[in-house]
Amino acid sequence: MNRIKGLRCRECGREYPKEPLHVCEFCFGPLEVEYDYEVIKKLISREKITSYPTNLWRYKELLPVDGEPVSGLTSGFTPLIQATNLAKRLGVEELYLKDDSTNHPTLSFKDRVVAVALSKAKEFGFDTVACASTGNLANSVSAQAAVANFKRYIFIPADLEMGKVIGSLIYAPNLVAVKGNYDQVNRLCSEIAAKYNWAFVNINIRPFYAEGSKTMAYEIAEQLGWRLPKHIVVPAAGGSLITKIHKGWEELKKIGLISDQTESKLYVAQAEGCCPIVSMVKENRNFVKPVIPKTIAKSLAIGNPADGYYAYSVVKESGGFGEVATDDEIVEAIKLLAETEGVFTETAGGVTVACAKKLIEQGRIPRNEPIVICITGNGLKTQEAVADKIGEPIIIEPHLASFEETMK
């Protein structure tokens, strides 16, 4: 019996084979990987998982790859940090950071989705991979596709941070900078994907790519001792990660890996200058109104989120909420996280911490229940966001008197 049934349309339920497809021919709904959980139940146990290496493939029975993975063998299983200093500052009892700023190899949560997408692209027999990226995906596809011996075409908006550009170029991909925002890059890539026989990780391979995000949910549950937090704050760009965290936890309940039936509340975090999903949540509106992004949180700057509706739905169904952060609040939150927990996150992490702080202050997240904040990227990639807002070094002459002068 195969644990992977195939693909299914999220709208009309029509079934499709396991192929590089992503939209339903009948209703244009997105396709999703479907599993046979009765089969998976027999293949998996807590003991088995904990005996596997500490990377995201320890959950391979729940991922849509049939053979041996070719990518991501060092990705995932990032630290879950109990953030006692930050908890004190925010006035809460039990706070954790899921720290994907240290994910391997390219220091963001995108190493998870790319690990699965490239392993699947290899199984499908592609020799070229591509992506439309807000930055981190570009880094991860560039790096992991080099190792897995793919030709690689990476499309980014032309105004990305230097760290994200260099962090792609170093792996020698074909890096194409498009004069436009992400939504324009994505539209162009859909045309290219229709014409060239490439594995576009977030277009024609998207159903498989998206499954990689579930590993963040599995790890959090395992690292909490096979329990779920009461509350989780998740940043959203296209809205896939937050949707898949929900799916991952529901799967763990379904196959009996967690007995705890905690209904976790999901909170979506976005920048004020690009918050199409948060505004749906706040206005109780079940459709996306696209926006033109204007924010320093470039990795979250998707004005027309592909999974906007599904992200909205999981937030609403869980009883969670959403919040936004201004550019100034993002910078303050990056500094707060660094000074309290020693974690230097990128602008997306600033968004998440700032939104968590607001939700706690508003009383939306109670102070006495366990909270997880997802830190999804590394601050060394977005240095221009904070460079002129963190003071300067004290410059001295190389002798004691000069140093002591500064002590006065």
Ligand X SMILES: *Cc1c(COP(=O)(O)O)cnc(C)c1O
Residues of this chain that bind Zn ion (CB under 5 A):
9, 11-12, 14, 24, 26-27, 29
CB of 183 to Zn ion, least distance (A): 23
- Determine if the peptide bond prior to 69 is cis (ω within 30°): no
Using the minimum distance from each CB to Zn ion, give the nearer residue, 26 or 196: 26
Return phi, psi of residue 91, to 5°.
75, 40
123's contact among Zn ion, ligand X, none, with CB below 5 to 8 A by partner kind, is: none
Q: Which is nearer to Zn ion, 13 or 91 (CB)?
A: 13
Query: Which one of ligand X, Zn ion, none interacts with residue 238, CB within 5 to 8 A by kind?
Result: ligand X
Measured from the CB atom, is 272 or 346 closer to ligand X?
346
Q: Of ligand X, Zn ion, none, which one does residue 27 interact with (CB within 5 to 8 Å by kind)?
A: Zn ion
Q: Which does 11 bind (CB under 5 to 8 A by kind): ligand X, Zn ion, none?
A: Zn ion
Minimum distance between the CB of residue 231 and Zn ion, rounded to whole angstroms? Answer: 33
Give start and end residues of each alpha helix (H) in 229-377: 240-254, 276-283, 308-318, 327-341, 347-361
3-state secondary structure 122-181: HHHCCCEEEEECCCHHHHHHHHHHHHCCCEEEEEEECCCCHHHHHHHHCCCCEEEEECCC
List of residues contacting ligand X (CB under 6 A)? 108-110, 136, 235-241, 299-300, 346, 348, 376-377
- For residues 269 and 352, the answer to whether their CB atoms sit within 8 Å is yes
Nearer to ligand X by C-beta: 155 or 258? 155
Q: What is the dihedral of CA 78, 221, 246, 31, to 10 degrees?
A: 70
For the CA atoms of 377, 379, 384, 388, the dihedral, rounded to the nearest 10 degrees, stands at: 140
- Give the one entry of Zn ion, ligand X, none that residue 101 binds, where binding means its C-beta sits below a cut-off of 5 to 8 angstroms depending on kind: none
Which of Zn ion, ligand X, none has residue 180 at its interface (CB below 5 to 8 Å by kind)?
Answer: none
Residue 136 interacts with, from Zn ion, ligand X, none (CB under 5-8 Å by kind): ligand X
What minimum distance in Å lies between the beta carbon of 7 and Zn ion? 11
State in angstroms the smallest separation of the CB of 89 from ligand X: 23
Check: CB of residue 198 under 8 Å from CB of residue 20. no
Nearest approach, Cβ of residue 21 and Zn ion (Å): 11
Distance of closest approach, residue 192 Cβ to Zn ion, in angstroms: 24
Select from Zn ion, ligand X, none the partner in contact with residue 240, using the beta carbon and a kind-dependent cut-off of 5 to 8 Å: ligand X
Residue among 6 and 29 whose Cβ is closer to Zn ion:
29
Bridge partners of residue 265, in order along the sequence: 231
> In this structure, are residues 75 and 55 in contact, taking their beta carbons and an 8 Å threshold?
yes
Query: Do 333 and 212 meet the contact criterion of CB atoms below 8 Å apart?
Result: no
CB of 135 to ligand X, least distance (A): 7
Closer to Zn ion by Cβ: residue 29 or 79: 29
Cα Rg for the chain, rounded, in angstroms?
21
The smaller minimum CB distance to Zn ion, of residues 149 and 287, is found at 287
Q: Least distance (Å) from Zn ion to the CB of residue 124? A: 22
Residue 31 CB, shortest distance to Zn ion, in Å, is 8
Task: Enter the tokens of residue 147.
Answer: 């190792």
Helices 308-318 and 240-254 pack at an angle, to 10 degrees, of 50
Which residues fall within 8 angstroms of residue 299, CB to CB, at 6 or more apart?
Answer: 108, 134, 135, 136, 164, 237, 346, 347, 348, 376, 377, 382
Nearest-angstrom CA–CA distance, 303 and 153 = 23
Q: Least distance to ligand X from the beta carbon of 100, Å?
A: 8
| 271 vs 359: CA distance, rounded Å | 14
Q: Is 121 or 245 the residue whose CB approaches ligand X more closely?
A: 245
| Comparison of 119 and 134: residue with beta carbon closer to ligand X | 134
Cα 147 from Cα 25, distance rounded (Å): 34
Q: Which of 228, 247, 218, 240 lies closest to 54, judged by CA? A: 218
The residue among 62 and 132 lying less far from ligand X, judged by its C-beta, is 132
Residue 276 interaction partner, one of ligand X, Zn ion, none, beta carbon < 5-8 Å per kind: none
